[in-house]
Chains A and B, each alone.
Chain A
Amino acid sequence: MGFISDSLREALALILAGDREVFTAVLTSLDVAVWSVIFASIGGVPVGIAVALGKFPMMGAIRVLLNSLMAMPTVVVGLVVYGFLSRMGPFGSLGLLFTPQAIIIGETVLAMPVVANYTVAAIQGADERILPTALTLGASRFQSLCQLTREVRFGVVAAIIAGFGRVIAEVGVAMMLGGNIRFFTRTMTTAIALETSKGEFAFGLALGVILMSVSLAVNIFLTLAQESHSA
């Protein structure tokens, strides 16, 4: 028990001292997570709307595929994207492997099915009068879809936050595509894995505390948004 409490004390000291290594990992994590969630939302929200409202063939198969992609192991995503970005791969000449951009690409692939699936659920749960009401008031199809999204914005925000939760906590993609390079591609999760394996438990714990804090902050934001929405 003394080991845990001593490590926790040491971890808090590292955080309060503003340890460069800790904060670089935190900033890298937030940077790649935010960008990948932005890209995943740009792709995932429209895909979710199309799947929820679309009446084209193979819709059932697309939904099954989206559900399966949600549960895809992070290392598999890392492996596939690695294949594309490695020197021998089709995009090898771009020199993206082991850069934060490579992590962003991998995490975008990881988050997009999550954002899309949650958006499908939000749209399918929406009041079915929204679209005809908007249309009969003279809105174009695009304006009506924007209004529908606005009406279920809380669900869409939840979808985006779920995507953020998926990427901020993942380690496989960041490790395989980022390479865990100190002060460059090292994220909180890859740093925790590395430092703990080296016996630097306090350092790993410090990052763990920050990771939990970020997760908590995201949940507080979601709860506050929900309360203001229902008010």
Chain B
Amino acid sequence: MSIAKYRLSSIQAMHGKTVSLTIDELSIAAGELHLLAGSNGSGKSTLLGILAFLNKPQQGTVYFDGTPVSWEPKECAALRRRVTLLHQTPYLFSGTVAANVSFGLVARGVGKESAQSAVRESLERVGLEGFELRKARQLSGGESRRVALARALACKSEALLLDEPFANVDRASAALLESVVASLVAGGMTVVISSHDELLGAKLGARVIRLEDGKLDGTPGPSPSEEFPRQTGRENAVS
């Protein structure tokens, strides 16, 4: 049986006076790939914000590695160093690509040499070798997204949350992303991807969590690897 990385219990999140998310019970298994599927406005980004410890729900308890989250600022700051969220339209800071990719490492107090090596490794992983000294603001849209992915990878978090990473990307970028995600999961990382395309679940070999109007639509299904051990897309995704 999988250990839960996250467990959410009686969660209610609000935008102003409107309830945007209601979850009675949800577990996200450690070291597995999950797909948050749902249409626009279904609460995917709200849920990712909670999982990233950026937004505190108005009600309910979030357990991370079995420990209830108190949402005290110090605790949230510590937890955010264990989880990284890649936004749907990522923001790159002004300056070089290297400065962007090393941002999380510098924030964690990682030494210069280790940070440089992690930056190089992360950029290689997303196919942007030699981009270190390029100005981040002068990159194309696709390159910017890859830099943002490299920046998230460099943090080496326990969980990676990707908000609509396959929206508006070309086939080559999608294939690269699939390969990166597959290798992360194979390495034991918990990955949660949001998408309006539920079919991605089978393609990526992900456990699908369906959201509809801010509520879970049924219980999270088994991962395709459990359901169809010979038909998982995960092997196909590994480069």
Contact = CB atoms under 8 A, between A and B. Distances in A.
Interface of A: 127, 129-130, 132-141, 143, 147, 150-151, 229
A140 B91 contact: no
Interface in B71-103: 73, 77, 80-81, 83-85, 87, 89-91, 93-94, 103
Contact of A141 (B73, B90, B151, B152): B73
8 shortest interchain CB distances as A-B pairs:
A129-B91, A137-B104, A139-B107, A138-B81, A136-B85, A133-B91, A138-B104, A138-B107
Contact of B155 (A132, A138, A150): A138
A140 B84 CA distance: 14
A130 B92 CA distance: 8
Nearest to A127: B91
A139 B89 contact: no
B54 interface: yes
A133 B90 contact: yes
B84 A136 contact: yes
Given A132-B87, A136-B85, A143-B107, 16 more contacts: A129-B87, A129-B90, A130-B91, A133-B93, A135-B54, A135-B80, A136-B52, A136-B54, A136-B80, A136-B87, A137-B84, A137-B152, A138-B84, A141-B73, A147-B103, A229-B94
Contacts, number: 55
Contacts of B89: 129
B17 interface: no
Contact of B77 (A133, A140, A147, A229): A140
A139 B103 contact: yes
Contacts of A150: 93-94
Contacts of A129: 87, 89-91
B108 interface: yes
18 contacts: A127-B91, A129-B89, A129-B90, A130-B91, A130-B93, A134-B103, A136-B52, A136-B85, A137-B84, A137-B104, A138-B84, A138-B108, A138-B155, A139-B103, A139-B107, A147-B93, A147-B103, A150-B94
Contacts of A229: 94
A4 B176 CA distance: 73
Contacts of B151: 137
Nearest to B89: A129
B117 to A, nearest CB: 18
Nearest to A136: B85
A194 to B, nearest CB: 47
Contact of A140 (B54, B85, B87, B107): B107
B140 to A, nearest CB: 18
A136 to B, nearest CB: 4
Nearest to B95: A150
Nearest to B152: A137
A141 B81 CA distance: 12
Contact of B87 (A133, A139, A147, A151): A133
Given A137-B84, A138-B108, A151-B94, A132 B54 contact: yes
A138 B91 CA distance: 15
Contacts of A136: 52, 54, 80, 83-85, 87
A73 to B, nearest CB: 39
A129 B54 CA distance: 12
